[in-house]
Amino acid sequence: MELDLGAVRAFLAVVDDGRFTEAADRLDMTQQAVSKRIAKLEAALGVPLLHRSRTGAEPTEDGAAFLPQARALIGLADQATAMLRARHRALRIDVLGHNAAPIEIVRSFYETGDAEVDIVVSRGAGSRWTALTDGSIDAAFGRVTAPLPPGIRRVPAALEPIPILVGHRHHLAGHRQVPMRELSGSTAWMPGNTPESEWADYYRHLSADFGVHIDTSGPVFGHDHMMERIGASPDLITFGNKTQFPGHPDVVQIAITDPTPAYPWSLMWHEANRHPSLPGFITHAQHHYRPQTEWLPTPDRPHFPTPQ
């Protein structure tokens, strides 16, 4: 005996909604069509599945017994359909931001291959784990030091050097590079450092190691407002680069040396993901990664070994 999945789906809709009319609306069918599908299912099974009355419908004893298997059957069918559709859609990659190192990794992968990609920007680890697990995204970049959720895998992808931005009135404005020790006692204004975010945690470590005060006060009114304040200040600095904050002539970028702080980017994915382009993208990211001797927070160092 072969079951009609459409009939099983109609049975579940009536059980969930309690009435044929509501189930028909949800399935975008006529009430008569829903009734015919369920009648066909009952005939195939040889038992009545629903008690019908003027007030609605509810499962019979046999219908209640069939209900868990019916849900499992439709769940498996939907999962199989989603898996096949996923194999033929673009590779969805969460880059966390459009102006950081991961976007260049994705761009070079796209330009050197024939895979389609779809760029996603999440809000960080919380939404990222859910999206990787349910397949909403196929891969994600970020900084992670805590144990990974079950099924999530990662590889080091990039160490992005971090310069500073200062205004023309700042005493460091004439330098092309500056040793990190000269920033001790400075205040870095970074209102975008969301509390408990992975990047805010990074700068807490940097502050503790080098004596740079991180000021996260004030609302974020956009990049222009932030650069106007940095450009007009004789003492404020911020960590960032001209790619992130373009078009501000009163702001200069200065490289940091001895040591150069680097933001550690990992590439993460779920081991159950079967998108055909994912293995190639993982390999591409691994080839892109270059171990360096820049400064990293202590929790990141085991995941980004330095050159021997």
Count CB-CB contacts under 10 A for residue 265.
Answer: 24
* Residue 84 pLDDT exceeds 80: no
Max CA distance (Å), the chain: 87
Whole-number average pLDDT of the chain: 90
pLDDT digits (tens, 9 = 90+) for 110-149: 998 888 999 988 766 667 888 898 888 999 999 999 899 9
What are the sequence ranges of the domains in the chain? 5-87, 91-159+263-303, 163-257
CATH number among 1.10.10.60, 3.30.70.420, 3.40.190.10, 3.20.20.70, domain 91-159+263-303: 3.40.190.10
What's the pLDDT score for residue 107?
A: 95
In DSSP terms, 120 is beta-bridged to 94
Work out the pLDDT band at 55, boundaries 50, 70, 90: confident
Which CATH number is 5-87 given? 1.10.10.10
Q: Could you please state the CATH topology (level 3) that the domain comprising 163-257 is classified under.
A: D-Maltodextrin-Binding Protein; domain 2 (3.40.190)
Q: Is the pTM of this model over 0.85?
A: no
Would 5-87 and 163-257 be classified into the same CATH topology?
no
- 237's tokens: 């600095």
Residue 70, token pair as written in the block: 């019916």
pLDDT tens, residue by residue, 225-269: 999 999 999 999 999 998 888 888 999 999 999 999 999 999 999
